[in-house]
Amino acid sequence: MNITSLRAAIRAGGVVAFTGAGVSEESGIPTYRGTGGFWTSYDPDKYASIDYFQQDPSYFWAFFRDTRRFLIHEAKPNAAHKSLANLEELGLLDAVITQNIDGLHQAAGNKHVVELHGSYQKFSCTKCDAVYPLAHIEREIEKPLPPQCIECDSVIRPDIVFFGEMLPPDKLEKAYQLASQSKLILMIGSSLVVYPAAQVPHVAKQSGARLAIINLEPTPLDDFADWVFHEKAGIVLPELLEYLT
């Protein structure tokens, strides 16, 4: 199946995108275990794990402090994000389900985004109900880490899903619902090994949707897919758009 038949499937409607770290790679954000850059200075098994956060929250907070300028203020949507925003604007994309916490789909202009793993826009106390916006946290991390709750002095955490934690049930439910109602799912930049998020394309396929995979490297779902492109998302997606508009 080629790109022309994929364009025809997109025109037929009922399209949902499912994205992972690979979609942001061309914005300069390394994928989870990607080599190079600041990522290698921090051990992902520590900064991304809930067990380690509970043991030593300062490790995550130092990672956050040292990388936030880049992640939150400097990374910009790339051609892949922009193409997905264009598709939604054209009425050809119902929603984006993402595993990313970088907010770049919204920055590109997508309105219907389900952030399965949360985002860096909101932070909360690990003990009481206090909630803090990013602006507050940016001031707090200039002080000794970790940032503490104003109400009860407990540690503050980001509203992201660490490894070892459950996904928010309402978001997972929404993602499964979108997937099961879709006719075509565009799976972009995910190794499809992190569950239960990786279940989303399975749900779509089992409900009769067709599956297109756009990922640099092979994935465990390639054999079940109707289209497979082992190329950069920032190349394939603009090419898809070219004759759709």
Residues that bind ligand NAD (CB under 6 A): 20-22, 24-26, 29, 31-33, 99-102, 117, 189-191, 193-194, 215-217, 232-234
Shortest Å, Cβ 136 to Zn ion: 13
Q: What secondary structure, in 3-state letters, does the chain show?
A: CCHHHHHHHHHCCCEEEEECHHHHHHHCCCCCCCCCCHHHHCCHHHHCEHHHHHHCHHHHHHHHHHHHHHHHHHCCCCHHHHHHHHHHHCCCCCEEEECCCCCHHHHHCCCCEEECCEEEEEEEECCCCCEEEHHHHHHHCCCCCCCECCCCCCEEEEEECCECCCCCHHHHHHHHHHHHHCCEEEEECCCCCCCCCCHHHHHHHHCCCEEEEECCCCCCCHHHCCEEECCCHHHHHHHHHHCCC
Residues near Zn ion (CB under 5 A), total: 8
Catalytic residue among 117, 136, 202, 230: 117
75: contact with Zn ion by CB under 5 A: no
Residue 145: contacted member of ligand NAD, Zn ion, none (CB under 5 to 8 Å, by partner type) = none
Single residue of 1, 8, 12, 152 touching Zn ion by CB under 5 A: 152
Shortest Å, Cβ 168 to Zn ion: 20
Shortest Å, Cβ 148 to ligand NAD: 26
Q: Is 136 one of the catalytic residues?
A: no
> Nearer to ligand NAD by C-beta: 31 or 180?
31
Residue type, 186: L
Q: Restricting to residues 83-142, name those near Zn ion by CB under 5 A.
A: 125, 127-128, 130
Residue 50: contacted member of ligand NAD, Zn ion, none (CB under 5 to 8 Å, by partner type) = none
Residue in the block written with tokens 């980001």:
158
> Nearer to Zn ion by C-beta: 15 or 155?
155
Residue 191: contacted member of Zn ion, ligand NAD, none (CB under 5 to 8 Å, by partner type) = ligand NAD
State the helix-helix crossing angle for 233-242 and 3-11, rounded to 10 degrees. 60
> Nearer to ligand NAD by C-beta: 75 or 130?
75
Q: Using CB under 5 A as the criterion, which residues of the chain lie in contact with Zn ion when the complex forms?
A: 125, 127-128, 130, 149, 151-152, 154
Catalytic positions? 117
